[in-house]
A and B are shown apart, each in its own frame.
Chain A
Amino acid sequence: MLTIDVKKSFHKQHDRLFHLDLSFSVNAGFTVLTGPSGAGKTSLLRMIAGIIAPDEGVIELGSTVYFDSERRIDMQIQQRNVGFVFQDYALFPHMTATQNIAFGVRASASADRRVKAEEMLSLFHIEHIADRLPHEMSGGEQQRVALARALSCEPRIALLDEPLSAVDIETRSKLLDEIESAQDRAKIPFIYVTHNEAEATRLGTNRIYIRDGRVAAAEIA
């Protein structure tokens, strides 16, 4: 169970103040966040991950408190154990697919990390690009590596920021299958930001529509 109740003010362009005020709670499974750009979806993901801090409020995952302004808790980003898939993947450009994935594995021996990375490669059907650098991969392959890397640290929650916006329509449907089966295996909450209505309908067990920094509509199963 993920519980969100956060407030934050941002200075946007032309010094206009933007207020984010979001509260909802969802269970494991898919939660799709939709809404116009600049509504606060990415900021919310970044708050859950601990990249930015809310001004006030609470973020809890199960019994773990990620953030609580009243109790002055702000767990470090490294300790939160989230799997983050960035919009442009943010694959380390100087590392191969295997190295990218092994980077996230929490094992002290490098042999163990490699074994786990190879396991992830085969789970996502990308063994053939194991030794390729990100710029030698197609968009869909990069996306799979990003997903494998995010899940290789066995996270407690996965945060996906428009993960399919950069791949073509044919690849998109295959990747949606992969993402669904990854969630099925991991059994953790997947928070999925998208602009695409088809993706939202297909994945949205829970759907939250965010506009102007607020929850404008929510369907929670």
Chain B
Amino acid sequence: MIFDALKLSLFVVCCSTAIVGIAGVAFSYLLAKSSFRGKDLLDAFLTMPLVLPPTVTGYYLIVLLGRRGILGSYIYELTGWSFAFTWEGAVVAAVVVSLPLMIKASRASIESVNTDYETASYTLGKGKLETFLRITLPLARRGIFAGLVLAFARALGEFGATLMIAGNIPGKTQTMPLAIYEAVASGDDHRAQVLAVVLTAVSIAAIYLTNKISRTAFYG
């Protein structure tokens, strides 16, 4: 039981961190480097899960992706499958709640890259994409790593939104935080303790890692 929850948690969190890494960097670039109508709105929309109670975020996910949801009903009609009560649903919940942390960290670091470096790259004939990949991204890497670690930790601890969209099915959607809740509720103190210690260890490691990254000398 403990291993099931641990394995599922790590799997879900790795999937979500990979998605958050790519989507987070793309959104950060968009928010940091371009101006378009509705930019502030997009920013607010993406940041919202940071302040919204996770159960409310989860409720909106059901409204959007549930079997009878706005998008979910189409998906269900086409495929006979829905995000509700699946590990994929748990991944979606983890992505939505951890994306804002990634965006906050990576956007700030992308914005802090001296624009002269990018301009220099343009004068040397390089386009925007190449300049981003070869100049901006490597120079912003500390903030991007820090964002990834924070997103990983936040996703690992995700409870409310996951419970709403993915439920609490042991071996299928029961991640570690849900398993702790169930262990306590059913009076299995030993299991709760072991799970809590494991999660605490991972969280401390995450904090240690972010601090180390932000203190490391930039080059060399």
Contact = CB atoms under 8 A, between A and B. Distances in A.
Interface stretch (B29-37, B63-71, B118-126): B118-126
A81 B114 CA distance: 22
A51 B125 contact: no
A90 B115 CA distance: 9
A90 B219 contact: no
Q: Size band of the B side of the interface?
A: 10 to 19
Interface string B184-220: 0000000000000000000000000000000000111
B138 A94 contact: yes
A93 B120 CA distance: 12
A125 interface: no
A153 B220 CA distance: 28
A81 B124 CA distance: 7
B219 A93 contact: yes
Nearest to B135: A92
A149 interface: yes
A209 interface: no
B123 A77 contact: yes
Nearest to B141: A94
Contacts of B123: 49-51, 77-78, 80, 82-84, 150
A51 B123 CA distance: 8
Interface of B: 114, 116-117, 119-127, 134-135, 138-139, 218-220
Given A103-B124, A103-B134, 11 more contacts: A49-B123, A51-B122, A77-B122, A78-B125, A84-B119, A86-B120, A92-B117, A92-B121, A92-B139, A93-B218, A133-B219
Those 10 A-B pairs whose CB atoms lie nearest each other, nearest first: A104-B124, A90-B116, A90-B120, A84-B123, A77-B122, A78-B125, A94-B138, A86-B116, A51-B119, A133-B219
